[in-house]
Chains A and B, each alone.
Chain A
Amino acid sequence: MNLTNEIIQQKLTEKFGDQLYDFSEPYGMLTFKAPKDLNLKVLQFLYDDETLRFRFLTDLQAVHYPNSKGNELAVVYHLHNLVDNVRIRFKVFTDIAKPDVFSATALYRSANWMERETYDFFGVNFIGHPNLIRILNVEEMDYFPLRKEYPLEDMTRVDKDDEMFGR
């Protein structure tokens, strides 16, 4: 029997009830949202369940939605069932003023690198991460560059004005 999106959704609903919401299938990939306190429980369930077996964390990243107040930062998990070759994705949302999310490093070793990267660029504070420091940017950086809170170009700069290039 193939593991279909319907079965996955049914299993998740049996376990978590209506705490998981917004199920959809963009391009055939099951996607849903979860409260941020449940993220480890959902991951653990998806990992342990004998039919689901999502034991590979393909990707983990954040998205900044500056207009949704109180839920500005989304942390997105991409999971892969290598046996049945099925992928799913789910998001948890957190307040940018207190961006605390539980770390998945204990469950997936690959989360270590990706959570550091997500911290580096979005400032998501992964609770329980063994070494949450910057990984790609310079250590002295005191901001999170991929948050949508900066103008694309610094209007006050003069060193790249046209007149500097004789135009």
Chain B
Amino acid sequence: MARPVQYNTTVKFEGIPEGYMGEGFMATNLEKVVSMARKNSLWPLPFATSCCGIEFMATMASHYDIARFGAERVGFSPRQCDLLMVIGTIAKKMAPVLRQVYLQMAEPRWVLAVGACASSGGIFDTYSVLQGVDQVIPVDVYVPGCPPRPEAILDGFMKIQELVNAEGLRRRHSDRYKELLAGYGIQ
């Protein structure tokens, strides 16, 4: 019996970088290859504190399946992860913890703020809640919503992938990037 996979003609090969290709070899930029590899194997670190975290659980599970984007491996150690996903309300007392987690991540690192609370404090316009995680760490992509649907989280994740793909190898050494980190008092 024929296996159904032969009818699956919609498989998409994505992101083969430009280059000179011949039989059995391909020559291209190292930067493009590294970007492609990084983009498709981001290890997220979910910093989930509240209801947005429930949406993230749905995003990880089989129906929405963040593994399709190469984010199969959700790590809970900042030293191994590339993408810090801040998912939920961050109290002011939690802010130094979040910052510590960010500092423990190795470069290159990206930050995704999921939901209204992580992005701006959301409805918690009060003395105890941090009004957006970008007050303590630099954020790459903000996902709006209260809470955002899993599709929105996936969309934010794909925006991160675009950033990763477009980012050169030397960006993290640039003066502008160091200036940004210095703006947060890091290093």
Contacts and interface: CB of A to CB of B under 8 A. Distances in A.
Interface of A: 136-138, 141, 145, 153, 159-160
Contacts of A153: 125
Interface string B53-95: 0000000000000000000000000000000000000001100
B20 interface: no
B92 A159 contact: no
Interface of B: 92-93, 120, 125, 127-128, 131
Given A137-B93, A138-B92, A159 B127 contact: no
A141 B95 CA distance: 14
Contacts of A138: 92-93
B128 A145 contact: yes
Contacts of B92: 137-138
B125 A160 contact: yes
Nearest to B128: A137
A159 B131 CA distance: 10
Contacts of B127: 137, 141, 145
Contacts of A136: 93
A153 B124 CA distance: 11
